[in-house]
């Protein structure tokens, strides 16, 4: 029986070739993204050898876009943006407007339509999130003031591109697209108005109802203690909301996924959601870049070398010069201006998404996509040189006549921003710090009533034995049948103990795990954290040694353990909660 294996071949060859070319690119100290694009080019119809199914690749790319946008929303930080808003917002908006205008002017000089030139210019105006974060991380610049400015700038660019993905389809007819809803100015405005109303309704539902429903659903799933089910629930949220947004509100899959990630970013499950879905996001992001590469016609490098060069110059030189001028005009030093401009002198995933949208709406011809892709590949290749040039350009620019007088004032402005960022970092660290390294004697008695009758000296000795531990929502702290090596005391948060016939919850001041520790047997129940939980643990050997010298404590813990053990074997409804 014949089976259609095009999907398997496209995915399999895409992943294999992406690994091969990505490995080569990494060995050459180039971004792996270059390798993924090269893998797509090798599979495309414009190069010899195996040709992948471009229709299937396009659908896989759509999944990749959804997961990419979900990841962008999940990592969206309003706090990061607020700290650098006075430079990131005007800087990013100004750079987008000027760069898009340059791209539009160049395209119209080539004889393109206004719509095609606008999509082309917008595609060249936004930098790659993947490339920028990787470049900053490799150079240790991500946590510094200049790095935070670049990241905030990028957040504004991302938000602007999300807005563009909403508005371009609404104005497709007026921009010369064959599938647009209107071709007159009034019709375009009406279509845009309807689109804005639909988007507003969708955003209202997501921002008002979403935070009440999504985290609650994930909390219930997390209580089950199944990692794979939690991962599926997160993916269901991303894919389901993206699908409903498109079908019910005529909103793009990308915007729906971005909003889903943004809603989850404020929940206590955001870190775990990001961690659990990262492998799948990475896999489909790779397939997205492969599919983009499949659409690239390398002959554009030979047939239109002048256009390729102009495109690269707009991205590498034009955008960098615009960013440099804006940062300096806002009163920041040359070191900040050159670092930000180097970070933004490339294009990537949003450019591909916008170009694909333009072609899908018949606004732009495939040549525009080929030029954008060529500009992306070459600008990413040249980006390390932009960072290398930071130091000499900074030194040269700072030494220009008339610059020395304002240097101290510019450095003071940067220093003020650094202080604000440091205060924000400390505030976030204080809020997120759940576990301290040790407890005092008084804290032992205050937090754990069972130790309240111990003399102060004994409590001090006991505090020295505690080992702090934290658990995230949904994390399995104890699994039934595992060896019992420690007892757990809850400082903050909440856990759920799952018994065969019921579940009970334990909170601050309570403890669990004593049955297995005292009996020497295996764990008798599952225990799952249902909040960010702060724990203090005592190893079995330390606890038994301490109990040898404090028989009153032995009796207290032993009595509770006996009661809980009987309840574990008896009917549900007993007043004393059970613990393993």
Q: Note the pLDDT tens digit of each residue in 276-331.
A: 777 777 888 788 888 878 888 889 999 999 999 999 999 999 999 999 999 888 88
The 3-state secondary structure of 525-552 reads CEEEECCCEEEEEEEHHHHHHHHHCCHH
Q: What is the predicted pLDDT for the residue at 21?
A: 93
Lowest mean pLDDT among 189-203, 280-294, 489-503, 519-533: 189-203
Q: What is the predicted pLDDT for the residue at 407?
A: 64
The CATH architecture of the domain made up of 6-296+304-407 is Up-down Bundle (1.20)
Would you say residue 148 has pLDDT above 70?
yes
Q: Which of 338, 309, 312, 310 is nearest to 323 (CA)?
A: 338
The answer to whether residues 74 and 270 touch, using CB atoms and an 8 Å cutoff, is yes
The answer to whether residues 289 and 37 touch, using CB atoms and an 8 Å cutoff, is yes
Lowest mean pLDDT among 82-91, 331-340, 547-556: 547-556
Tell me the longest C-alpha to C-alpha distance in the chain. 92
The DSSP 8-state label assigned to residue 522 in this structure reads B
β partners of residue 504: 497
Stretch(es) of the chain classified as CATH 1.20.1530.20:
6-296+304-407
CA distance 551 to 445: 17
Q: What is the predicted pLDDT for the residue at 16?
A: 92
Would you say residue 357 has pLDDT above 90?
no
Stretch(es) of the chain classified as CATH 2.60.120.10:
441-569
Q: Which residue has the higher pLDDT, 101 or 60?
A: 101
CA distance 175 to 172: 5
Q: Which residue has the higher pLDDT, 71 or 356?
A: 356
Q: What is the predicted pLDDT for the residue at 573?
A: 42
Would you say residue 540 has pLDDT above 80?
yes
pLDDT digit string, tens, across residues 426-466 = 665 554 444 344 566 677 777 777 777 778 777 777 777 78
Would you say residue 10 has pLDDT above 80?
yes
Class of domain 441-569: mainly beta
Q: What is the predicted pLDDT for the residue at 180?
A: 45
Q: What is the predicted pLDDT for the residue at 483?
A: 83
Would you say residue 391 has pLDDT above 60?
yes
Give me the mean pLDDT over the 355-377 stretch.
89
Q: Which of 19-23, 191-195, 296-300, 501-505 has the highest mean pLDDT?
A: 19-23
CA distance 330 to 410: 9
């Amino acid at each position: 029986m014949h089976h259609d294996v095009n999907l398997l071949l496209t995915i399999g060859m895409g992943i294999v070739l992406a690994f091969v070319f990505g490995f080569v690119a990494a060995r050459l100290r180039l971004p792996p993204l270059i390798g993924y694009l090269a893998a797509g080019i090798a599979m495309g119809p414009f190069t010899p050898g195996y040709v992948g199914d471009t229709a299937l690749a396009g659908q896989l790319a759509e999944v990749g876009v959804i997961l990419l946008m979900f990841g962008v929303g999940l990592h969206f930080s309003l706090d990061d943006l607020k700290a650098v808003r006075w430079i990131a917002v005007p800087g990013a908006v100004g750079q987008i407007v000027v760069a898009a205008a340059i791209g539009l002017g160049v395209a119209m000089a080539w004889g393109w339509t206004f719509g095609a030139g606008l999509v082309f210019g917008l595609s060249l105006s936004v930098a790659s999130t993947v490339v920028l974060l990787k470049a900053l991380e490799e150079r240790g610049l991500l946590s510094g003031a200049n790095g935070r400015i670049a990241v905030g700038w990028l957040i504004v660019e991302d938000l602007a591109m999300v807005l563009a993905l909403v508005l371009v389809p609404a104005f497709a007819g007026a921009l010369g697209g064959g599938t647009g809803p209107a071709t007159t100015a009034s019709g375009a405005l009406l279509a845009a108005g309807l689109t804005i109303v639909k988007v507003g309704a969708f955003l209202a539902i997501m921002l008002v109802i979403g935070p009440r429903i999504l985290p609650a659903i994930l909390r219930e799933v997390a209580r089950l203690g199944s990692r794979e089910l939690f991962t599926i629930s997160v993916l269901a949220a991303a894919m389901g909301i993206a699908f409903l947004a498109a079908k019910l509100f005529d909103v793009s899959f990308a915007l729906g996924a971005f909003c889903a990630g943004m809603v989850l970013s404020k929940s206590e499950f955001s870190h775990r959601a990001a961690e659990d879905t990262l492998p799948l996001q990475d896999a489909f992001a790779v397939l997205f870049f492969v599919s983009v590469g499949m659409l690239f016609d390398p002959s554009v490098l030979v047939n239109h070398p002048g256009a390729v060069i102009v495109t690269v110059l707009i991205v590498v030189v034009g955008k960098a010069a615009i960013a440099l001028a804006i940062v300096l005009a806002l009163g920041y030093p040359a070191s900040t201006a050159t670092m930000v401009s180097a970070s933004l002198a490339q294009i990537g995933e949003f450019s591909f998404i916008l170009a694909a949208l333009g072609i899908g709406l018949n606004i732009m011809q495939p040549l525009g996509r080929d030029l954008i892709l060529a500009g992306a590949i070459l600008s990413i290749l040249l980006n390390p040189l932009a960072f290398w040039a930071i130091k000499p350009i900074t030194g040269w620019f700072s030494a220009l006549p008339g610059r020395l007088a304002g240097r101290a004032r510019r450095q003071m402005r940067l220093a003020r921003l650094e202080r604000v960022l440091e205060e924000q970092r400390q505030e976030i660290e204080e809020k997120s710090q759940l576990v301290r390294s040790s407890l005092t004697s008084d804290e032992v008695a205050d937090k754990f009533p069972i130790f309240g009758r111990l003399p102060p000296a004994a409590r001090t000795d006991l505090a020295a034995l505690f080992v702090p531990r934290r658990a995230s929502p949904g994390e399995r702290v104890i699994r039934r049948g595992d060896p019992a090596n420690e007892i757990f005391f809850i400082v903050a948060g909440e856990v759920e103990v799952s018994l065969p016939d019921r579940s009970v919850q334990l909170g601050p001041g309570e403890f669990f795990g004593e049955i297995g520790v005292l009996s020497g047997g295996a764990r008798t129940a599952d225990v799952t954290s249902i909040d960010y939980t702060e724990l203090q643990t005592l190893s079995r050997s330390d606890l038994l040694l301490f109990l040898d010298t404090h028989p009153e404590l032995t009796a207290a813990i032993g009595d509770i353990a006996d009661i809980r053990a009987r309840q574990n074997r008896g009917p549900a409804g007993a007043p004393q909660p059970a613990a393993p």
